A and B are shown apart, each in its own frame.
Chain A
């Protein structure tokens, strides 16, 4: 199984809603990543988890809250988002943080 899965595929939420994005991999990878990608731009790193511990937070606003409940699962909790947070949110994983990253299909988020 060389797949990273993400749910949901699409999400529309209001600015007062609370929602969560989910990412899962069963490749035994110990590094997992959240990226944000705006249209026609490269991905921007948000968070890195290494061995289930947060190792990098790229000064992301606190309305985004990551969680890594176990080595296969990565969540991104969303609360009080702004319309400018609308983007494609990509999850990735790698065996270690210096290895090839495998990307999920992304969640397309629209904030109204």
Chain B
């Protein structure tokens, strides 16, 4: 069964802390997406990964194909990073559609 599991579900940290959100998935994905959703709506696509590591500003995403695991890291976290972070896998088998994790609600306190 194509599933995506995220942890933790909720995370509260102090400004400046290093944040890690984890995502695990079943075999056979063609890509793994990390998305950000602020309260009130719109979703922003942060990264699409099929191997290795990507960095954008203070955000880093890694994927380990052998372990079927991906992580999203935030360095020097800031209150504006408070949002829900969702990982989503694009599986090779079956219809080409994203399978979403349940999301991680991140709160960064000043």
Q: Spell out A's residues near B (CB within 8 Å).
A: 40-43, 45, 48, 55-56, 88, 90, 92, 97-106, 108
Contact = CB atoms under 8 A, between A and B. Distances in A.
Contact of A98 (B44, B90, B100): B90
Interface stretch (B11-19, B60-68, B91-99): B91-99
B86 A98 contact: no
B45 A98 contact: no
Given A103-B44, A105-B42, A106-B41, A97 B103 contact: no
28 contacts: A40-B103, A41-B102, A41-B103, A42-B88, A42-B100, A42-B101, A42-B102, A43-B100, A45-B98, A48-B95, A48-B97, A56-B97, A90-B43, A92-B43, A97-B96, A98-B30, A98-B31, A98-B90, A99-B48, A100-B33, A100-B45, A100-B48, A101-B45, A101-B98, A103-B45, A104-B42, A106-B41, A108-B41
Report the interface size class on chain B. 20 to 34
B96 A98 contact: yes
Secondary structure dominating the interface of A? loop
A88 B45 CA distance: 17
Nearest to A9: B41
